[in-house]
Amino acid sequence: MKFKPLDIEEEPKGLKRLARKKHTLRTVIFVFIGALLGFLYFYITEGQHMDPLIPGDIVKSMLIGGFFGFFITNSPCARNRC
């Protein structure tokens, strides 16, 4: 009888495992795209009329855009569960 030796590999734990998932990468990309679009929307609508740009307003617009990017990739309908 011949036995094949077992190939045991350690699975990555924590952030390494999370970072290797395709869905995580897609979510991060969409959050950055949403934040960029939030900044562009702020600049086109309000930023051009203001001489000094207020960082707090820019950050709020980027957070809202980032949330939309997160929601687009993690909503139930985006995962075919609706």
Q: What is the mean pLDDT of each run of 10 residues along the chain (82 residues)?
A: 81 72 86 92 76 77 90 81 75
Given this model, what pLDDT does residue 50 score?
Answer: 64
- Rounded Cα distance, 50 and 65, in Å: 21
Given this model, what pLDDT does residue 46 score?
Answer: 75
Given this model, what pLDDT does residue 36 score?
Answer: 92
Q: Which amino acid is at 72?
A: I
User: Dihedrals φ, ψ of 51, to 5°?
Assistant: -70, -55
- Rounded Cα distance, 44 and 66, in Å: 17
Considering the entire predicted model, what is its pTM?
Answer: 0.69
**Residue 41 corresponds to which tokens in the numbers above?**
């929307």
Given this model, what pLDDT does residue 48 score?
Answer: 66
- Rounded Cα distance, 41 and 30, in Å: 16
Task: Give the residue among 68, 70, 46 at the shortest CA–CA distance from 56.
Answer: 46
